[in-house]
Structure 1
Amino acid sequence: MLNGTEVLLPIGEADFIQWNAFNGSAMMPGKPMTAVVGFSTISYWKLVAALLVLYLTWEQAYFLASRKKKSGKMLPGPHYAVPFVGGVIQMVINPFKFWEDQRLASFPGLSYNSILGKLMVFSTDVEVSRKMLSVNDESSLLMAVHPSAKAILGPNNLAFMHGPAHKAIRKSFLALFTRKALGTYVELQDGIVRAHISQWLAANEGREIEIRPFIRDMNAATSQHVFAGPYLDDEAERAKFSAAFMDMTQGFLAFPLCMPGTQVWKGKQGRLFILGVLRKAAARSKAAMQLGVEPRCLMDFWALRCLEEIAEAAAAGMAPPGHTSDEAMADTVMDFLFASQDASTASLVWLTAVLAERPDVLAEVREEQARLRPDPSATITGEVLNQMTYSRQVVKEVLRYRPPAPMVPQITQADFPLTEDYTAPKGALLMPSLIAASMQGYKDADKFDPDRFGPERKEDVTCAKNFMTFGFGPHYCVGREYATNHLIVYLAILATSCNWTRRRTQASTDDSKNWLYLPTIYPHDSLITLHRKAVPSA
């Protein structure tokens, strides 16, 4: 007993004993000492407070050390890391301001922040960003996606693949985007886009609508029809298929908890339903291709290639590649469908919103369309689309001006040197900014100017390294030509069938200039009024 305080002594098999001077207890002669289990309430909270102070001190020290360069200078960013949560609260409340502040803090170079106790290194340096995206070694870097990504997308998603298996499946994808395949897709895209624009006009001509959900539905229908159309022939199943995709998307916007009843759980169930439908589609597609049916969708073009790979493996006495199974094909086509959904929808919305306020650009698009397509009701073919030089410039400028996926996060698996002066520690979250890259190098980069990609200025050549809308390195988007063609088809049909205007919200003029993170970026408002365009008389 020391001045009425507790004394802890090691004894026998017990770790400690507690002896309180005021409890009136006394050691009985000849009796062994016994441990009193537990601490007093005051001691318990003292311990909690001590551990909390210790953790907070360690956290601040960690971020201080982690942002320090070899030269002794510090990466710019917050003066201190907000305990436990970091910048998450600001990022959720106002993501546009959060990421703009981060961009301005780092430009042109690197900055730091903390996200739920994890170090985030944000890059506006084009060369460093390309370095972040160029690694295909899972011992160095891995793509870091949403905390719920594996629950929603499944462990076999392309985003989680690396090494030989990843290279093999991407090589197999070459058969999906040949000129013949892309030409088939263009004609399918034409039919779906026309049908949806006709529906918009029939139901809403002259009425202001928020165009985003309409475009999303059109894009979902197009993707499904192009990727697996003939095999999604059950009406009830197709309706549930679309709803399942919506559940998956909503899962990424919800709190990352996968338990029955949560949105993440619903997203997972949606994925399982979609995989079941696509497994049947893959089997039907292979059967059709074996019978000599002409390919009618992406699934068919891939089934043809997979059957060839299976035959090649059999001739060599080897097992067929893993990606040729019905299950693997279903997983991959689901990935294509999901990847094409938000990014393409965002770009289609930006295309509509921007051109509503650029009549000069729209006039040039219409001149080109009239020259190449004197009969605007005729189906667009791949051959005609390839001649739409100016329309392609417009689409490419939309993709540069507002890259739909603003960042491609990576997570370090070991200390990773980013510059000669700074090495990101193991476990750091790397954020290469595609938006920052697209706003450097180009002349008047903050202006929408399709002429920059014309034959006179050729900024698509001189600034090629800055155009990273489709990523860079081993995970470079394999469907870039498909996505670009989809935007061109939509632009061609919209320009020749509609006039449209956009109203910016008056109550929040500043917000109207910014964009939303959903999680791809959209205009803050895309309030559009459509009118049917008069067909010129012969």
Structure 2
Amino acid sequence: MAIISTLLGFELHAVLEACLFAVGLYAVASVLTFLYFASIHRFKVPGPTFVQPLVGGLVTMIRDPFKFWEDQRLFSPNGYSWHSIFSQFTVFATKADLCQRIFAVNGENSLTLALHPNGKIILGNDNIAFQSGERHKALRASFMALFTNKALSLYLPIQERLAHEYIADWSKRFPHGGKPEEMRSYIRDLNCETSQEVFLGRHLHNRKKFTENYNNMTEGFLSAPIYFPGTALYKAVQSRKLVIHDLEEAVERSKQYMAQPDAQPHCLLDFWTATISDLVREAKERGEEPPTFSDNERMADTMMDFLFASQDASTASLTMITATMAERPEILERVRAEQRTLRPNDEPLTYDLVQEMKFTRQCVLEQLRLYPPAPMVPMLAHAPFQIDENFTAPKGSLIIPSLVGSCREGFTNPDEYDPDRMGDARQEDRKFAKQFIPFGVGPHRCVGYNYAINHLTVYLALVAHHAEWKRTRTPNSDKIIYLPTLYPHDCLCTWKARGGNKQASA
């Protein structure tokens, strides 16, 4: 027994020593990590007082991303701050002038977009998000015809029809007095179908299977970066191949359709196909090679990017504005009053009519200002980048301009939802035009921002005019979640169809 006790005591002593050594090693690593990053910014940049070795703020960010980035923003609400993400030095920029300057830079020798680690694996290296320089500029120039007044007018009947169908369905499935339903996935379905109809029209076949594969891709974006059969990332990559195949076929159908005499575009792809046809013809007349983005595979890749860009960002804003209006009946009534004035007989929407919806549009712009759907855009520094006269971020840093930070700089009571700030009397959207950048600015500004604003305005106009909805609040209803676009923590609603102006008049 004495021998056993001695051995146990020795083992416990060894375990205790090992634990103390590990704690000491961690403490030393913590100090060295902090001193390393402190030496980079020489204690001149606001930021955390403690950084965990190796992981930095990664664990905290994963637990509650929105709170993590909001805390980071509050280190310096109108400037910049630092943190460490998995031992990568990170500069978080909130000052509008600085955000503008960062967004203006785009090149392999300066700054390039740095998406989720799974981004390049799923989307591929040729995706527009990863392009820069003249090639990227030429590709974006080919989009000019896709979002003109003529094109937006063509998309409107599709948006209106699908919104009516979904509102009617919600009113039947989730009636007042019944169990409230979380609306995020249902609004996503509406947005997904609208994007497919508007962008691809009748050229996209087998939509059910296409949507399933597309959803596999989006799920892979936020999965663990582990690639082997059975993982979400592997499934996403395999699904991407099928998505691209379907999109290549859609591109070919569009090319054949638009080659017919007197063919008229019926979707976004047709507008782009017409532009591509002109570019190819002009290149041939000059004896040059056609643009690299004119073949079916590259066009399919770009159409996939359009679908991604419109899907999560617009779904987030549509869900946000649904929750916002449920909480502000007095503002919702003003939207309805505007609809009664502009559409006394429930007239169908036209482009000009939507432009007259000034207050409805103010509500949309204010929603985008308060919660930009893509709250930040990480950039990787390929060379030292001067932040200001006092500080230069080293090569290899992540530099993250905050759209949330910029969109709240200068505005009166910036944390309040106040659509009147966007009206003719106050014109804060014009006074603070430099700060109001919910779609970014520069080479990677969202090319479809006019479509996105129209889409949100049409949705709000129709849902306000033709439906009543009640939101069931929970203890978390005022929280925001980061997916990585910004959503209300919950949007539990029941629905009831309205008779529009006819019912209101009765």
Normalising by structure 1, we get a TM-score of 0.86
Equivalent of residue 186 in structure 2, options 188, 207, 214: 214
Unaligned runs of 5+ in 2: 1-21
Correspondence 1:50-69 to 2 at 5 A: 59-68=33-42
Equivalent of residue 271 in structure 1, options 227, 240, 243: 240
Q: Which has the higher helix share?
A: 2
- How far apart in 2 are the matches of 1:94 and 1:150? 25
- Contact 1:205/1:529, CA 8 A, preserved across alignment: yes
Correspondence 1:74-473 to 2 at 5 A: 74-206=44-176, 207=178, 208-232=180-204, 234=205, 237-291=206-260, 292-376=262-346, 378-473=347-442
- How far apart in 2 are the matches of 1:138 and 1:186? 39
Task: Report deviation, 1:431.
Answer: 1.4
1:5 match: none
Task: Report deviation, 1:366.
Answer: 1.0
Task: Report deviation, 1:56.
Answer: 6.8
- How far apart in 2 are the matches of 1:211 and 1:365? 21
- How far apart in 2 are the matches of 1:54 and 1:137? 38
Q: How many residues align?
A: 479
Task: Report deviation, 1:52.
Answer: 9.4
Which secondary structure state, in structure 1, belongs to the residue aligned with residue 216 of structure 2? helix
Moved more, 129-138 or 453-462: 129-138
- Contact 2:80/2:92, CA 8 A, preserved across alignment: yes
Unaligned runs of 5+ in 1: 1-47
2:490 match: 525
Which secondary structure state, in structure 2, belongs to the residue aligned with residue 334 of structure 1? helix
Task: Report deviation, 1:205.
Answer: 1.8
List per-residue Cα deviations over 1:151-200 (Å, max 9, x = no partner).
Answer: 11111111101001111011100011111111101121111111111111
Cα gap change, 1:60/1:359 in structure 2, threshold over 3 Å: closer, same or farther? closer
Task: Report deviation, 1:324.
Answer: 1.3
- Contact 2:171/2:494, CA 8 A, preserved across alignment: no
- How far apart in 1 are the matches of 2:485 and 2:51? 26
Which secondary structure state, in structure 2, belongs to the residue aligned with residue 464 of structure 1? coil
Which letter does structure 2 place at the counterpart of 1:253? L
Which secondary structure state, in structure 1, belongs to the residue aligned with residue 287 of structure 2? coil
Equivalent of residue 478 in structure 2, options 490, 513, 522: 513
Equivalent pairs: percent with the same residue?
45
Which letter does structure 2 place at the counterpart of 1:301? F
Higher relative contact order structure (alpha carbons within 8 Å, sequence separation ≥ 6): 2
Which secondary structure state, in structure 2, belongs to the residue aligned with residue 528 of structure 1? strand
- How far apart in 2 are the matches of 1:180 and 1:341? 23
Task: Report deviation, 1:57.
Answer: 7.0
Superposed CA RMSD: 1.9
Task: Tell which structure's C-alpha radius of gyration is larger.
Answer: 1
Task: Report deviation, 1:125.
Answer: 1.4
Moved more, 107-116 or 480-489: 107-116
- Contact 2:168/2:497, CA 8 A, preserved across alignment: no
Which secondary structure state, in structure 2, belongs to the residue aligned with residue 189 of structure 1? helix
- How far apart in 2 are the matches of 1:58 and 1:175? 55
Which secondary structure state, in structure 1, belongs to the residue aligned with residue 495 of structure 2? strand
- How far apart in 2 are the matches of 1:51 and 1:300? 62
List per-residue Cα deviations over 1:280-327 (Å, max 9, x = no partner).
Answer: 111110111110321000000000000000100010011111111111
Normalising by structure 2, we get a TM-score of 0.91
- Contact 1:289/1:295, CA 8 A, preserved across alignment: yes
- Contact 2:477/2:491, CA 8 A, preserved across alignment: no
Which letter does structure 2 place at the counterpart of 1:267? A
